[in-house]
Structure 1
Amino acid sequence: MAHRDVDTIIKDEILIEKLKKRGFNKCSDVLSSPNAVHLANYIDCSLSTADEIIKKISEKCRPPVVKVLDLLKTENDYLSTSLEKVDHLIKGLKIGSLTEISGPAGCGKTQFCMTISVAVAKADPDCSVYYIDTEGAVNCYRLLEIAENRTNENSELAKKILSHIIIVKESSVESLQERIDHLEEEIIERNVRLLIIDSVASPIRKEDDTRYGILMKLASTLKSIAESLRIAVSGAH
């Protein structure tokens, strides 16, 4: 969570300017400061202001407190895909982990992503699914068909399920990274249980020289989100 930009938490424009001018762009930069006195001297603010900055960022960035017993109980937690054979093979989508969905073009990866998003949203009406579409391949009418099929053609129930699936479109590497970097607060607020990126590879294909580095950075961020927020993350390739 500490890789968030400071301006997602600190809203005072003057403080944001002071922080960024001194290289405190990310929350991790502020948290790496030895103490409030050091930060106050470095960005030229009062000690109480520096203390408040550190306090606010610490509260927002710290992972939720989890007891060891609860961790043991959730170690083998999975979200069902609703596909019996898939669940039998891999148990489902592992909480706190990344599940890679790969295959050649046209093999049905987006169809699979839409199916599991409906399954998870239907299984827990209090949770949400966050679907990042990078190819413009998600068809809302097809999503409705899948939901209706899972509810015995109950259109009202199907629409209720779809109201828990958030779809956002990002077509470039920069916008995708920006979206993921600022996602944690929204995941918590919306009680997201499953994050889908369909597809991870699409916007990266254009970045020939830096493709591997970008992919590793995205994977690292997604893994951190999955582990710290205890959600399942699935990425199609």
Structure 2
Amino acid sequence: MTEQPNTQPATPVGLDLIAPEMYAPALRRLSLAALGVGIGVGLLLALFVSWPIALCAGVVLGAPTALYAVAAQRRRMSLDGTVIHARNWSGEHTLDLAAATGVEVLVYPGRLSRVVLRVTTGPETRIVPLAMYTDGGSGREMHILGLRKLADALAACPLAAALAVSSMLVHQLRAEARDANAEERPLYRAARMVRAKDSVQPVVLSDQDIAELAR
């Protein structure tokens, strides 16, 4: 009997730096609190002014925060093969890494430095968070499975920049797998490199920077 190949589709891998499940309860509490404050202020003002004015004041005070919390709960980012799926308040957007026309690594310096991947495909641009670090070197990094799938997807792109970033992510993956110290992790070294320049603006790492970090 001939063995049938496994044709089950691959499971999408989450790319969120912080799992949505971790902050969803806090966002729900924030939205309920904002609505409560808005209603409370509206009822209080209704004792002194007309109800339309009180209603408008309550909506203006509570609605923006509540809507932001609801929108933040909808945000998700995942990778299915080479395609990034990003969901937010306006719907779901996709971007194929294999067809990327631009691949860059940016570092946002500060007390909490952020390292992100910026991918462009035609008019579409997507930011993928890779890591964030405090001044002391602690922080959060993309999980191992996400790094591996992201590196594989970038390796499918013919751009030299994509292949270089893929190699850097592989080195980061290996460092995380063996629980290496911060100084051995390319993403942390990228944040430290930019912090040493005393820059206050986001810095795009050069090809030479990426090559050095991939060693």
TM tier, shorter chain? under 0.3
RCO (CA 8 Å, sep 6+): is it higher in 1 or 2?
1
Structure ranking higher in helix proportion: 1
Structure ranking higher in strand proportion: 2
Which structure has the larger Rg?
2
